[in-house]
Amino acid sequence: MLNRPPKTFQEPTPQDYIPGRGRGATGFVTNPEYSLRANNQFSEMPVPDAGAKFGTPPPGYVAGRGRGLGDTRRETLARQAAAARSFISQQQEYDDEPVEEDDDGRPLDDEDQGLFANTVYDEDDKEADEIYEAVEKRMESRRQRQREERINEELKRYRSENPSLEQQFADLKRGLAQVSEEEWASIPEIGDYRVKKQKLEKYTPVPDSVIESAHKERSFDSSIGTLSTTQGISTDLASIGEGRGAVLGLKLDRISDSVSGQTVVDPKGYLTELAGMRITSESEIGDVKKARMLLKSVTSTNPKHAPGWIAAARLEEIAGRITDARALITEGCQKCPTSEDVWLEAARLYPQEQAKQVLASAVQRGRVPGSVKIWLQAAAIESDLTQKKRILRKALEIIPTSVRLWSAAIELEPPEGARILLTRAVECVPHATELWIALARLESYENAKVILNKAREAIPAEPLIWITAAKLEEAHESKQQSISTDILNDEQVKKIDQNNLFDIYLEEVKNESSQSSVTRIIERAVKTLSIKQKIVDRDRWLKEAKESESGGYYRTARDIIHFSSNLGIEEVDRERIWLSDAETAEKEGYFICARALFARLVSTFPGRDNLWLQAAHFEKEHGSFMVVDELLRRAVAYCPRAEKLWLLAANEKWRHHDADGARAVLHEAFSSNPGSETIWLEAVALEKQAGELSRARILASRARNSEADSGRVYYKSALLEREAGCVEAERELLEEGLSKHPNEPKLWLMLGQWHERQEPSQLEEARAAYSSGLQHCPTCVPLWISLAHLEERVNKWTRARAILERARQKLPKVDIIWEESIWLEVRIAKNQRPLSTDSQLLSKTTSKSALSILSKALQECPDSGRLWAVAIELESAKQRRARSVDALTRCDRDAHVMIAVARLFWGEHKIEKARSWFQRAVTLDSELGDAWAAWYAFEKKENGESEIKEIESQVESHPPRKGTRWCKVRKSLENVHLTTLQVLEKVSHDFEPFTS
């Protein structure tokens, strides 16, 4: 009984009953019912009416109000349902894609629309989205490397399975290098074999009547009055408009008036155009009229605008109406009485006498009395010197502070009058530096010092006054020195000059009491203007030093460099900046400034041997032997371990025929560098050049038994015996040296050459020597070439080819081996041509071999100037110019290419071009003997006497050390005693122009 449900719930539910509706609740919608809403049938569902079941509610009844609910929830739910229906209808209307559904048939976005439709997107949601996005990016980056590797592997596999057309034909393209010129020429020309038929173009000529009618439509006769009838000229206005429309448009676009009436004319530009204008035809008359109207508008709207009056007057002047121009400029003077430009223009337009009245009116009526230009113009148009002086003095009474007026007046005076005017000028214009300096130059030494002191007080920040004072002291000291040297002979004067020159390098060791007046003035100037007030920087001082040197004030220039070179630069940058400034000054020709900078370098960094070397080379070029000798003496004192300084000092002694001095220098070098191989060998070379072979042998023996023992010492000793003619002593030294230093390639090379020189030649022993040398030194290029030459000497061409091929395999990037292989093929072709019955075919085959090797060589060494020069020489005459262009594209800074191009122009008889290319070659590489010999041969054939003397002087002063043909002649045993000029003469015989 207790568990029975109430009777009320056992009764059947009434029709359209919705549980909870009476208390404001709303029943849920089931899945079948949702399909109706999804099909937009939600609004058609029957809504049960409570009044049908319970009767009509009383007026003002709101369900649930007694419980405090009211009908607000029901209204809210109704609004939400309406919004949902509206959204669904819009979604079905505009979405073309099918709606993605869940397993229960509802769209996936339905939960967001229903459950989260009214939620607010706050900061927490935003932060959560950012975190998830960062996590996604991190995971994506972790997988990126594996994905890229997988993509690259797939790409490589695809390219290997599907090669491009270029890759498929790569081997065939390389094979084109083997095609000869005759094979290229035999390829037939391709015709037009297109399948589609060409559409024939039909051309129908236009009748003359159509052309004439079109011409009449575009033009019309516009004869202008009597002008056309009297002169017979018919003006085509259409063509005139087309011709000058653009010009007029540009002019008128630049000229316009604003609303306020102020003109925006560019006076300078327009006046310049007017000055260059000339009316040459009637078509320009219209331009003048329009310009006249425009300028009239300018002067009427703004009569105080002076450029407008000047432009209007110049326009009338150009038009030939000089009277109107003068009238306009006169009116301009009345409208703009304070404009000096208008008065000057009026003076220019009037004749000389009337111009004087115009300028007098300008200054006398108090309009522009302070105009310096007007006073100068008034003086300029006067022809009488007295009148000019009177005008300028009158101007100075009115404008006493004008430097231009004072300068013009002083130029008209003699020295005495100029000094009087300058005395007054510096009182009126104390800030004019040039006036103070001019006055000081006109005074005596004592008075000039007083004047410059006053100038320094008036203008304390001007460096020119300090520098002028230093120049004054230097000129005075030079005058006193010249008086004292009048009683000395030339040698004593020369010695004093050399001491003064070297005195630059002793600036750091001078004490304060020994400084000259020039040095004290410059030191005070630099300290006053640069260190305390920071008025003048280092670049300004350097510029002033160069100007002082140009004026002949050498001591002033070097003192400025000495005291100002350290301004504004860090300590770590001093060496680099000073060296750069010294090189720049040397290139510009300021040798005193460059010498002062080098002196500053070696005094600040005395332990840097490279700086001493650069200073010594500078003095060799621009100084004297005494300075170089003294400089090197100080250099080796600071850098006793620098072998180059010792060698340079000894060579300078030897060049000036002081053998005992050179021996003394090398003796000191031995004591400072007991184990130096270079110094020992230099001593041996010195004695050999002096003809003291016994002393040279003794020194060489001591070197071999000292710490300097090396393979180089042995082959130099053997070379000494070779030149002396001691054959057995040479062989013993070579064998002894090889037993101690088997890895010295030159010893093996000399041993093979010794066997070749014997009578009869010991070819087997020579071949064994070269082969043994290659076993110990497989990278020695001369050994490979010498062995190939040995085989070629006995006509074993195949073996020579094989040797050079092995050399190319071991050293594929050495262009000398490739070059030797090419010339070997050329020599084989020349040697075997007469032996063949079909000589033309054999010559063609061997030439093809040489070209084939050349092609491979350029692939291995594409930037080798040697190989490109060979390519130019072996090319046919018609193709040499194109080949030279290719060579210059690859090697535009190689002397070998320059020589080949010069020989090409030589063969074409273009003398000046050939000479310029030879000069480029020796400039690029001054140590290349082949370049000098080729140029020498060219000048001898073309009778260039001055160039021959220049070449001989350059070669004699700086002997070449490189070059295939030069070294071959220079190192030959029979040419040992030849001078450099004799070697040059002998090598020049090998050079001829390229035949066309």
Instruction: Name the token pair of 774.
Output: 């290659």
What is the average per-residue pLDDT within 73-100? 56
d(CA 188, CA 178): 18
Predicted local distance difference test score (pLDDT) of residue 157: 85
At residue 841, the pLDDT reads 41
In this structure, of 353-367, 589-603, 883-897, the range with the lowest mean pLDDT score is 353-367
Q: What six digits make up the tokens of 788?
A: 């190939």
DSSP state of 543: H
- pLDDT (0 to 100) of residue 822: 93
- The predicted model gives 216-237 an average pLDDT of 42
Nearest to 902 by CA among 937, 943, 876: 937
Q: Which residues pair with 928 in a beta bridge?
A: 962
Give me the architecture of the 470-505+516-712 domain, per CATH. Alpha Horseshoe (1.25)
**Which of 893 and 64 is assigned the larger pLDDT?**
893
Higher pLDDT, 996 or 542: 542
Give the pLDDT band (50/70/90) at residue 4: low
Identify the residue whose tokens are 């079948």. 32
- pLDDT bin (cut points 50, 70, 90) of residue 487 is very low
Give the residue-averaged pLDDT of 855-869: 92
The model's pLDDT over 8-23, given as tens digits with 9 standing for 90+, comes to: 455 666 666 666 666 6
Q: What is the pLDDT of residue 49?
A: 54
- Residue 111 has a pLDDT of 44
669 to 487, 613, 674, 677, 680: CA distances (angstroms): 41, 16, 8, 11, 9
Please state, in angstroms and as integers, the Cα–Cα distance from residue 501 to each residue in 338, 615, 619, following that order. Answer: 61, 13, 10
Pair of tokens at residue 725: 């003619």
What residues does 107 pair with on adjacent strands?
101
Tell which wins on pLDDT, 277 or 852.
Answer: 852
Per-residue confidence (pLDDT) for residue 904, from 0 to 100? 92
Q: What is the mean pLDDT of residues 557-562?
A: 88
pLDDT tier for residue 983 given thresholds of 50, 70 and 90: very high
Q: What is the pLDDT of residue 510?
A: 46
Q: How far apart are CA 962 and CA 976, in angstroms?
A: 16
pLDDT at 690 over 70: yes
Distance (Å, whole) CA 91 – CA 252: 63
Q: How confident is the model at residue 898 (pLDDT cuts 50, 70, 90)?
A: very high
Q: Contact 541/567 with Cβ under 8 angstroms? A: yes
Q: Looking at residues 582-586, what average pLDDT do you find?
A: 91
Q: How confident is the model at residue 899 (pLDDT cuts 50, 70, 90)?
A: very high
Q: Could you identify the residue written with the tokens 């510096």?
A: 426
User: Which of the listed ranges 106-120, 361-375, 494-508, 702-716 does the model predict with the highest average pLDDT?
Assistant: 702-716
CA distance 617 to 172: 56
- Lowest-confidence segment of 433-447, 496-510, 749-763 by average pLDDT: 496-510
Q: What CATH architecture does domain 281-460 belong to?
A: Alpha Horseshoe (1.25)
Res 205: pLDDT: 63
Integer angstrom CA distances of residue 466 from 241, 280, 453, 854: 67, 59, 9, 69
More confident residue, 392 or 71: 392
Mean per-residue pLDDT, 342-359: 86
Whats the size of the chain, residue-wise? Answer: 996
User: Among 525-529, 769-773, 932-936, which stretch is predicted with the lowest mean pLDDT?
Assistant: 525-529
pLDDT of residue 200: 47
> Residue 583 above 70 pLDDT?
yes
* Ranges 66-80, 422-436, 475-489, 825-839, most confident: 422-436
> Is pLDDT at 905 greater than 70 in this prediction?
yes
For residue 498, how many other CB atoms are within 10 A of its CB? 16
| 252 compared with 139, residue with greater pLDDT | 139
Q: pLDDT band at 24, cuts 50/70/90? A: low
- pLDDT at position 844, please? 47
pLDDT for position 685: 86
Confidence at 951, pLDDT banded by 50, 70, 90 = very high
- Whether the bond between 960 and the residue before it is cis, its omega within 30 degrees of 0, is no
Give me the pLDDT at residue 39, please.
Answer: 47
* Residues near 585 by beta carbon (within 8 Å), at least 6 away in sequence: 546, 591, 593, 594, 597
Q: Are 936 and 919 in contact (CB under 8 A)?
A: no
| Distance (Å) of CA 717 to CA 83, 352, 722 | 112, 93, 9
Contact (CB, 8 A) for 448 and 500:
no
Mean pLDDT within 670-698: 86
Per-residue pLDDT averaged across 329-336, rounded?
86
Query: What whole-number distance in Å separates Cα of residue 582 and Cα of residue 589?
Result: 11
Task: Taking residues 183-193, report their average pLDDT.
Answer: 60
C-beta separation of 611 from 505 below 8 A: no
Single-letter amino acid, residue 431? H
**φ/ψ (deg, to 5) at 663:** -65, -40
CB neighbourhood size of 877 (10 A): 12
Residue 276 has pLDDT above 80, yes or no: no
| pLDDT band, residue 399 (cuts 50/70/90) | confident
pLDDT value of position 394: 85
Reported as type and span, the H/E element at residue 978 is none
The pLDDT of residue 365 is above 70? no
Rounded to an integer, the average pLDDT of 745-769 is 90
Number of other CB atoms surrounding residue 294 within 10 Å: 21
Q: Which residue has the higher pLDDT, 291 or 547?
A: 547
Q: How far is CA 909 from CA 329, 722, 895, 903, in A?
A: 66, 45, 21, 10
DSSP state of 367: S
Taking residue 130's Cβ as centre, other Cβ atoms within 10 Å add up to: 10
The neighbouring-strand residues paired with 901 are none
Residue 331, classified by CB atoms within 10 Å of its CB into exposed (0-12), middle (13-18) or buried (19+), is middle
The mean pLDDT of 109-120, rounded to a whole number, is 53
The position carrying tokens 């009838």 is 229
Provide the CB-side half-sphere exposure for 622 (13 A, CA).
17
Report the C-alpha gap between 324 and 322 in whole angstroms. 5
Q: Does 67 have pLDDT greater than 80?
A: no
Write the DSSP symbol of residue 28.
Answer: -
Among 71, 85, 79, 95, smallest CA distance to 34 is for: 85
* Phi, psi (deg, nearest 5) at residue 929: -65, -30
Query: Which of 238-247, 421-430, 969-978 has the lowest average pLDDT?
Result: 238-247
> Contact 406/425 with Cβ under 8 angstroms?
yes
Angle formed by the axes of helices 895-907 and 880-890, nearest 10°: 160
List C-alpha distances in Å: 753 to 125, 741, 798, 995.
Answer: 93, 18, 22, 36
**Element of type H or E holding 94:** helix 72-94
Note the pLDDT of residue 42.
Answer: 42
Say if residue 313's pLDDT is above 50: yes
Predicted local confidence at residue 706, as pLDDT:
83
> In degrees rounded to 5, what are phi and psi of residue 565?
-70, -20
pLDDT for 92 equals: 53
Q: Give dist(CA 669, CA 643) in Å, integer.
A: 8
Comparing 59 with 389, the larger pLDDT belongs to: 389
Answer whether 76's CB lies under 8 Å from 126's CB. no
Looking at residues 394-408, what average pLDDT do you find?
Answer: 85
pLDDT of residue 262: 42
Cα distances from 898 to residues 181, 271, 814, 817, in angstroms, run: 26, 54, 20, 21
pLDDT band, very low/low/confident/very high, at 52 (cuts 50, 70, 90): low
Rounded Cα distance, 722 and 741, in Å: 20
Q: Region 303-330: what's the mean pLDDT?
A: 86
Whether the CB-CB separation of 67 and 23 falls below 8 Å is answered with yes
Which residues of the chain are in CATH 1.25.40.10 domains? 281-460, 470-505+516-712
Query: By C-alpha distance, which of 790, 704, 694 is closest to 739?
Result: 704
> Cβ–Cβ contacts within 10 Å for residue 763, how many?
16
Structure confidence at residue 512 as a pLDDT band (50, 70, 90): very low
pLDDT of residue 418: 85
pLDDT of residue 249: 52
Amino acid at 926: S
Confidence tier at 913 by pLDDT (50, 70, 90): very high
Angle 664-668-672 from CA coordinates, rounded to 5°: 165
| pLDDT attached to residue 505 | 61
Q: Please tell me the predicted confidence (pLDDT) of residue 433.
A: 83
Assign 103 a pLDDT band (cuts: 50, 70, 90): very low
